[in-house]
Structure 1
Amino acid sequence: MAVRKPAGASGDSAGLPGELPEDAETTADLPVGIGDRLEARFVDQAGTEQRTLWPDAARGVCLEECGPVRRFPVRHGKRMAPGWWWSATNGRLVHYASGVMRTQVMLLDWDPSIVAIACRPVELTWRERDGTWVRHAPHLMARLADGRGLLADCAGHGDISPRLACRAAVTEAAAAAVGWRYQVLRPPDPVLAANLRWLAGYRHPRYRGGELAVRAAEVFRRPRPLIEGVRELGDPVQVFPVVFHALWRGDLSARLEKPLHERVNVTAAPQGRRQR
């Protein structure tokens, strides 16, 4: 079983990564009709299916290290395109079901508050008042920098289905009961998504640039057009990938809600705002 280990070496007082801060909410009321035995199913790192109560799984299992409890099949005639996203956060591949979900994985990968991402690592099971058993595997799970977890489902444009709305209500309450969060992720602004999609092409550590990245932070110490700083640093063919990687990481910043172009103003981000 993928049981959490202490955050540091033996004797580290930081505790388990998933332990709740003292001020965290530890109780929450589940919707009327849901019993008190909310179960979790997951596949551990050895590939063995495990079942336990949800609070035990949330607090005692590294769910971000578990594989998907359900794969996303390819269905003929459906506009679905399952695939894999290489995560700069995890340093490994994360499964996704569609372009909508891939965009959300990209946003989580870019988010500085996220330290790990997993696809469908847990399935929740509960019994409703009428005796019907319901199963729901949230699309994504992320580990936050403060040790808490995030469960998320990905939605397209428009209203979510009544089926997902019912499951979302239970999942949100289940997450809150253990100090986690739950969100239905909506499509981002298309300009932001397009900019991040471009920068994501340079997210791999191979583009860090070493000394060139250090010089870039100095050249962009004050806001200036992207192309001016790039030309000052050297050959644009060599410099642009390093600058784009720094923009992805947050070492450099620009207004990504506006179209990214060569005259956009770029500046070095304050140390405290850098991603990783």
Structure 2
Amino acid sequence: MIGEGDGAEAGAVGAGFEAVFVDPGGQVARQRWVDAAWAVAFEDLDPVAAFPVVPGRRWGPGLWWSATTGRHVACGSNAMRIQLAVLDRDPRVVGMAGRPVRLLWRNGAGRVRSWVPQVFARYADGTALLADCPGHPEAGGERALRAAEAVAEACARVGFAYQRLEPPGAAFAANLRWLAGYRHPRNAGRPGLLGLVVEAFARPRPLADGVDAVGDPIEVLPVAFHALWHGHLTAPLDAPLHERVLVHAPVPGARHGGGGRREAE
């Protein structure tokens, strides 16, 4: 693992940024960042470095099952998990990976620096987002903030973006965790049921009313939650979900403000 200012790497890093990653064959590879950014499918790669295990923390490294790709994404914290959920619902996102690339560069004093962004997300237009998921604005201290500036510069050079993603509000995060439990295709229900549920909310109506109009809530409600996750239905997610929340099918062609997804089934 290459650390910040690792002397063993100092003589090897040239001008500009370089990328270190584990290629599909399991070998550690290294390229100029400007070459690797567009040539390497980082969204398909394993982590280049393991997520740390922090003693005493309630939530440790794990896996997020992505409804976008049908594959697992390595995840290092609860803060990262909720950001993966947000990206998983974004209709622009077509691929995601956890820690697939390490960036190397020299600072103004000529010392080698490195950083591994927590998330890589590929968009449908081929561009990408590299992101970190701090639990609070000061997480990581000055080193993380300096690295953020460098990684943002590296991304700008290739038409990508970098962000330190701000944690969402408590109500939105709770709603997203709930809906995520219904993201798997098995919750679409029997053939034709999803279409009936969406049709029932052609005009805004309370969740319970629309579900009752379709059939047995035990069968229909999971389908409604599945539709809310994927953006076939929409509802305000900044306040707690409840049976009287107004739900409706989005206008065809309009972007779903809650980050709805298209179905991949």
1:50 counterpart = 2:29: yes
Residue 162 of structure 1 aligns to a residue whose secondary structure is: helix
* Superposition TM-score, scaled by structure 2 size: 0.88
For the 8 Å contact 1:42–1:51, the answer to whether it is kept is yes
1:146 is the counterpart of 2:132: no
* Residue of structure 2 equivalent to 1:114: 93
Q: Please show how residues 129-144 of structure 1 align to structure 2 within 5 Å.
A: 129-144=108-123
The alpha carbon displacement at 1:45 in A equals 1.3
**Counterpart residue type for residue 142 of structure 1:** A
Aligned residues of 1:104 and 1:187 also touching (Cα < 8 A): yes
Match of 1:87 among 66, 74, 78: 66
Q: Which amino acid aligns with 1:244?
A: F
| In 1: Cα distance, 2:58 partner to 2:179 partner | 26
* Deviation at residue 76 of structure 1 after TM alignment: 2.8
Q: 1:222-274: per-residue Cα shift (whole Å, max 9, x none)?
A: 00010011111111110011100000000001111121000001101123246
Q: 1:260 aligns with which of 223, 234, 241?
A: 241
Task: Kindly tell me the number of residue pairs found equivalent between the two proteins.
Answer: 243
CA–CA separation in structure 2 for the residues paired with 1:243 and 1:49: 44
Partners of 1:146 and 1:84 in 2: CA distance: 26
State the percentage of identical aligned residues. Answer: 51
What whole-Å deviation, never above 9, does each CA across 1:6-45 have from its counterpart, x for those lacking one?
Answer: xxxxxxxxxxxxxxxxxxxxxxxxxxxx973311001111
Alignment equivalent of 1:75, drawn from 32, 37, 54: 54
Aligned to 1:8: none
Query: Where do residues 154-165 of structure 1 align in structure 2 (5 Å cutoff)?
Result: 154-160=133-139, 161-165=141-145
Deviation at 1:75, TM superposition (A): 3.4
Q: Gaps spanning 5+ residues in structure 1: where?
A: 1-33
Residue 109 of structure 1 and its aligned partner are, at CA, apart by 0.9
Secondary structure of 2:248's aligned partner: strand
Amino acid at match of 1:121: P
Q: Could you tell me how far 1:110 is from its partner in structure 2? A: 1.4
Provide the TM-score with structure 1 as the length reference: 0.84
Whether 1:271 aligns to 2:257 is no
Residues 137 and 166 in structure 2, CA contact (< 8 A), matched pair in contact too? no
The Cα shift of 1:131 comes to 2.7
Question: CA-to-partner distance for each residue in 1:131-172, whole Å, 9 max, x for gaps?
Answer: 321110100000012210100011122434211110000100
Matching of residue 187 in structure 1 with residue 167 in structure 2 = yes
Matching residue within 151, 154, 159 for 1:174: 154
Is the 1:127–1:134 Cα contact (8 Å) retained in structure 2? Answer: yes
Indicate if the aligned counterparts of 2:15 and 2:106 stay in contact, CA closer than 8 A. no
CA separation of 1:132 and 1:192: change in aligned 2, threshold 3 A: same
2:169 & 2:54 partners in 1: Cα distance?
28
Return the alpha-carbon distance in structure 1 between the equivalents of residues 187 and 59 of structure 2: 31
Deviations 1:112-137 (A, max 9, x none): 22111100110000112323211101
C-alpha distance 106-36 of structure 1, shift in aligned 2 (>3 A): same
1:60 aligns with 2:46: no
* TM superposition shift of 1:79: 5.0
The alpha-carbon distance between structure 1 residues 139 and 213, as it changes in their structure 2 partners (threshold 3 A), is same
Asked whether the 8 Å contact 2:43–2:95 carries over to 1, the reply is yes
Give the conservation status (yes or no) of the 8 Å contact 1:74–1:80: no
Q: Gaps (5+ residues) in structure 2?
A: 1-12
Matched, 1:250 2:227: no
